Amino acid sequence: MPCLWIIASLNFSGCVLGGWTTPFAGGERMRLWFLIPLLLCLPTLIRSEDYADVTIVVRGSQTIAATSDEFVCATMDWWPPEKCNYNQCPWGKASVLNLDLTNPLLAKAIQAFSPLRIRVGGSLQDQLVYGTPNLGSPCNPFSKVSSGLFGFSQGCITMERWDAVNNLFVNAGAVVTFGLNALQGRRQTGKGIWGGAWNSSNAREFMEYTVSMNYPIDSWEFGNELSGSGIGASVGAEQYGKDIIELQTIISELYGNSKKPLVVAPGGFYDQKWFAKLLEVSSPNVLNAMTHHVYNLGPGNDPQVANRILDPQYLSRTSDTFRDLQLTIQRHGPWSAPWVGEAGGAYNSGSPRVSNTFLNSFWYLDQLGQSAKYDTKVYCRQTLIGGNYGLLDTDTFVPNPDYYSALLWHRLMGKGVISLDTSGSSYLRAYAHCGKQKGGVALLLLNLNKNMGFMVSVRNDLNVGVDVDDDDKRGIRRDNSFVHGLKKTVSWVGSKASDGLQKREEYHLTPQDGNPLARTSLLNGAPLELTEDGDIPSLLPVQVSVNSPIYAAPLSIVFVVFPDFEAEGCEL
């Protein structure tokens, strides 16, 4: 009977072995203890095809890359309610121009990150003008016109609306990246090709007003999807580089001796030759970050979106882009840094059946992990709210599953990226960072397998080959025995855990009712829902003996924090 109870625990919360504490309904807490002799019956109750042993060796002697403090970022877009794809119009009133900025759920969702970087921009930003005194035309919102770029007219933001947007940002503690109109003053010279110099007069007045109001803009982004062949419109890299120099000059003049915002560009899809040329033309220390966009899952109406999210080979393809951009920057502009300025997975407003569900978190978190390995400093999710891919529901402002995935990453995964080696199935994706709040190391496990769980033993590379058998000395290997796997973990963290009393923290995310397309995530078995006051719920871990293996259930996400992990690279 005790063994059967352990198996039930696996199915419920994904936590096994050792002593741990977890919240139950009604606020009660129960202390559960498992005795080592009970482990012996576990393999007989879990059929061999139900789980596999995996060993992960964390190489904490040095970090391989670093993100920024505000690595997790979300976008706010300009699309009006009339933006429709595939016979559905999912934007509602989520535009920067019509969003309910006073909704308390919106402010609380931003505040929970303390801080959250917000990138304001999108397809219509290169048709947006600013309602400054010298605009010379009425300041009207976007309207649907067949002759306009993306089917919309020029739009305008009033300074009163800009004040209201900044009131939200300041009160919620957001770090702001604002995308400027980079088509102003140009003319169309061919199909989708725009030429001529940028007319900076309206943007300069808008920036002057922003500076005069002391609105804390962290970075100004120049243009949206105008790089390479462009999306709807394109501008040559040489002219683009000259315009960025002008933008940097304007910033230097307006901000004087105060802290200057970063200049980031081009906010488009990666094109190696175009990006390299932009760096060369803009010259050293002008372009602080290169932003590129990622929509690697296909169109939002593609029935294969869900399958692609669970295909490890498909997910890994994006690494080529991250790697190539990193190399391009190193060779042509090492003063710059890679950013993902916009990423929504499925394009054209996302997938209505996938992008707002638990399943999408596998793609999203895997993207965060992949991009960080290649020194990406910022990763902006499309969107904070709006479309099918919002972190918040467009109508209710209630967080979707990816919101909590983002929040857990932000709170647990530090800036330092650590390499690791993994044995076993490619369906278990693993990423390691320096711990953010409590030191040590934070580990993310993504089990993409629908039917198989993984029993994960974590090793420190400092201890590989110490007090283990001859087979282990050859490196990582798949364990043949559950008990042998447990034995090997006893000294994995080094001397800090030699007394065997140290704990680790585990955060197991699973879908409600076992449905991967559920709109609600469970954290250690409890639904993640707003409190009665509309506050973000506490994200509490379970405490687990550091000497026990980690169980990653089928189609589950596990964050693990090892506060006592000896990682020299994280102490520098």
| Residue positions annotated with a catalytic role | 225, 342
Residue 358 contacts residue 396 (beta carbons within 8 Å): no
DSSP string, 35-81: -GGGGGGHHHHS-TTTEEEEEEEEETTS-SEE--TT-EEEEE----T
Q: What is the 3-state secondary structure (H, E, C) of 181-214?
A: CCCCCCEEEECCEEECCCCCHHHHHHHHHHHHCC
Q: Are 13 and 524 in contact (CB under 8 A)?
A: yes
Residues listed for the chain: 572
| Phi, psi (degrees; rounded to nearest 5) at 343 | -150, 120
> In this structure, how many other beta carbons lie within 10 angstroms of the beta carbon of residue 273?
10
Q: What DSSP assignment string belongs to 123-192?
A: GGGGGEEEE-TT--S------B-TTSGGGB--EEEEHHHHHHHHHHHHHHT-EEEEEE-S-TT-EEEETT
Are 349 and 91 in contact, with CB atoms under 8 Å apart?
yes
CA distance 293 to 271: 11
Q: How far apart are CA 357 and CA 155, in angstroms?
A: 32
User: Residues 552, 453: contact at Cβ < 8 Å?
Assistant: yes
Instruction: Assess contact for 300 and 350: CB atoms under 8 A.
Output: yes
Q: How far apart are CA 428 and CA 52, in angstroms?
A: 10
Mind giving me the DSSP string for 435-453?
A: ESSSSSEEEEEEE--SS-E
Q: Give the 3-state secondary structure of residue 367.
A: helix
Q: How far apart are the first and last CA of the chain?
A: 49
Q: Can you read off the two tokens belonging to residue 262?
A: 């970063």
* Helices first, then strands: H and E counts in the chain: 13, 29
Within 8 A by CB and 6+ apart from 259, the residues are none
CB 486 within 8 A of CB 549: yes
Spatial neighbors of 255 by CB under 8 A, at least 6 apart, are 211, 261
Q: How far is the C-alpha of 497 from the C-alpha of 566, rounded, in Å?
A: 10
Inter-residue contact 274 to 228 (CB < 8 Å): yes
For residue 5, give the H/E element and its range: helix 2-13
What are the phi and psi torsion angles at 527 (to 5°)?
-60, 140
